[in-house]
Structures are given as C-alpha cells and as structure tokens.
Amino acid sequence: MKDMHTKLLRMGIIGLMLCAANAWAGPASIQGIVKDASGQQIKGADVRIESVDGKQLFKTVKTDARGRYVSQELQLRVYRVTLLVNGAVKACITNIKTKQDQATELNLDLKRVAAAQATTEQKKGTHMVWMPTRTGTHLGGNWVEVDEYGKAASGSNVHTGTGEDLRRQQLTQQPGSLPGQGPTPPP
C-alpha cells in the first residue's frame, strides 16, 4: 500500500512540474513593420494570422501610424500571414513559425517589380479580396475575385452600392423579386 501511495505522489509531482513548465513558457507572437514600394510605413493595413491552409483565422491586427504590428498570445506552430491594404491582398507568406518566449519578426516590404522583370503571368494573375460577413447573416466572410481596379469580377455575384442605392431598390421593387429579373416564381 505504501508503494502505491509513493507512486501516486511521484506521478502527482511530475504532473505538477509539467503544468508549471507549460505555464512558464511564454506565449508566442509575430511582429514587424509594413512598408510600401517607396519605403514609407503603411498605417491601417490589416495583418491576418491564419492556419497554413487558410481555413482558420486566428487574429487580425492593424498597423499603427509607424506601420508596426504585433500579434500576441499565439500558439507555437506554423502560420500563414496575409497582408491586406485597403481590402486588397498585397502579400501572403505561408511558412511563419513562432518561437517560444520570443517574437517572430516578419517585416513586409512591398517593393515594385520593374516592368522588364515582371512576367506575363504575374501581370495577368487573379486578385482576391476578403469580403467580411454581411450584417444580418450568420455566414462568415469569403474571398472574392476582383479586377486590377478593385471592381468585382464578372459573374462573382457581388454588387456594390451605397445605402441610398439599397433604399431606392427596396422602394421600387416588388417583394420577392430579384434585382433586374422581376418577381420570383413560387416554389
């Protein structure tokens, strides 16, 4: 019986030491400075910390007036970091590994590529913009393809307008009708 109590006491002490070691391990963080093509710091850019596959968003932080951002209290793992400036994705790095008890430094410099260096594929690439969740819906946000001017790509089912446009549409359309298509037939 004494042997059993001693084993239980040892297991309890080992468990307590593991818990204490885990508590002492400081949280991980990712930080850095965001600069535009001319070397100026970018204020108000969104830095998204996501799972490597992009399916889970952990945090979104904004850059301050000096272009600096800090995302704290992250788990030790590999992340994808996406930079959005005015809603447009400007950079996406998929292999950022956090370190215990120290900040992972990730500075984002948006350097221009000379026209002679840019390939045709780079010029014709697709542009994706994060659309946040809409008011009154339980669906999350999603990525939408846009052209080089930031307009929704044809066939994307994204319509932009002002609150006044929406109100005008509500007042002029019959209930149950779709914009530009007349009344919706009953099911």
Domains in the chain, ordered, with CATH?
A: 28-112 (2.60.40.1120), 116-172 (no CATH)
Q: What is the pLDDT of residue 138?
A: 66
Flag whether the pTM goes above 0.85.
Answer: no
- 34 by Cβ neighbours in 10 Å (0-12 / 13-18 / 19+) ranks as buried
β partners of residue 109: 35
Q: What is the pLDDT of residue 121?
A: 44
pLDDT tens digit string along 18-72?
Answer: 555 444 445 889 999 999 888 899 999 999 999 888 888 999 999 999 999 999 9
Query: Which amino acid type is present at position 137?
Result: T
Residue range 144-166: mean pLDDT, rounded: 67
Contact (Cβ atoms closer than 8 angstroms) between residue 54 and residue 80: yes
Q: What is the pLDDT of residue 23?
A: 46
* DSSP one-letter string for 125-163: --EEEEEPPPTT--S--EEEEE-TTSPBPTTS------H
pLDDT tens digit string along 92-136?
Answer: 888 888 888 888 999 988 876 554 444 444 455 667 777 766 666
Q: What is the DSSP letter of 102?
A: B
